[in-house]
Amino acid sequence: MLQGSLVAIVTPMFEDGSLDIPALHQLIDFHINAGTDGIVIVGTTGESPTVDWDEHCLLIKETVSRVAKRVPVIAGTGANCTREAIELTAKAKVLGADACLLVTPYYNKPTQEGLYQHFSEVAAAVDIPQILYNVPGRTCCDMSNDTALRLASNTNIIGIKDATGAIERGTDLLLRAPKDFAIYSGDDATALSLMLLGGHGVISVTANAAPKLMHEMCVAAIKGDAIAARTINAKLFGLHQKLFIEANPTPLKWVLEEMGLIKSGIRLPLVALSTQHHDTLRLAMKSAELI
């Protein structure tokens, strides 16, 4: 079972919004050298809503090639159209992804039965490990724990990214899920708590900027070393909070530009970080020993 710090990696862009593939390669090496346990490409943090089909596939292809089996690659392949999710998941398998991350269908607001059938159809159509992704704050679609656990019986569905930030929900999943079903946090601020309760890791925004500390925190938490994990998490907590001072990945891209890792490109309708937040983020960076 894949455990630890799985970075929901940004999609580097030039100032005109075009993809910066050389910067992506450099970021991948940066993460692997820092101990990141897996790369999640074209997720929410990777601006999946504004990359087109060809770019989406190119980002998966380039990531798989650059990673070269050094760590697992998880490709975001969710959609609010079941046929599109199947097609993109199948393409990710062909491109060499190790697993796929499938967000709950957004905007069309399916019922729990609709969610069950949607994910079951994708799992039946494509033989690749699949991780469910529940982020109701983004999608206006909340998959219940009962539905997630009903889907856990499918051999191709190997886990869930729970981005609700609700520890009681995560605890319920951990208590009722099959032993081989992974529970990942999708909320950096509560990830430590979930891992100390038995969670298997975090699909992280913060790891983009502080991969070494996130990896070390996850290692300590999964081992049950609460004191070490809390000490590291205290350094990171400013980032956990302030990286969402505006819509993700706007603050994160500003931080990574400050670190000299990427250029400032971001796609409309997202725009550059408001100047009023710059000092707040610098304080969070200082706490995490990034500057």
- Give the model confidence (pLDDT) of 24-48 as tens digits: 999 999 999 999 999 999 999 999 9
Nearest to 130 by CA among 103, 150, 162: 103
Domain ranges for the chain? 4-287
| Category of 34 on φ-ψ map: left (φ > 0), alpha (ψ -120 to 50) or beta | alpha
Q: What is the percent of the chain where pLDDT is above 70?
A: 100
- Give the model confidence (pLDDT) of 114-147 as tens digits: 999 999 999 999 999 999 999 999 999 999 999 9
Q: Quote the pLDDT of residue 109.
A: 95
- Give the model confidence (pLDDT) of 194-206 as tens digits: 999 999 999 999 9
What residues are annotated to the active site?
133, 161
The contacts of residue 147 (CB under 8 Å, 6+ apart) are 112, 115, 116
pLDDT higher than threshold 90 for residue 207 = yes
- Give the model confidence (pLDDT) of 238-257 as tens digits: 999 999 999 999 999 999 99
Q: What is the percent of the chain where pLDDT is above 90?
A: 100
Measured between alpha carbons, how far is 272 from 250 in angstroms, rounded to an integer?
Answer: 6
Report the chain's C-alpha Rg in angstroms. 18
pLDDT higher than threshold 90 for residue 1 = no
Q: Residue 5 is encoded by which pair of tokens?
A: 């710090």
Name the CATH topology of 4-287: TIM Barrel (3.20.20)
Bond before 269 cis per omega within 30 degrees:
yes
> pLDDT-derived band of residue 13, with 50, 70 and 90 as boundaries?
very high
Measured between alpha carbons, how far is 60 from 158 in angstroms, rounded to an integer?
Answer: 20
Q: Which H or E run includes 254?
A: helix 250-258
Q: Quote the pLDDT of residue 83.
A: 98
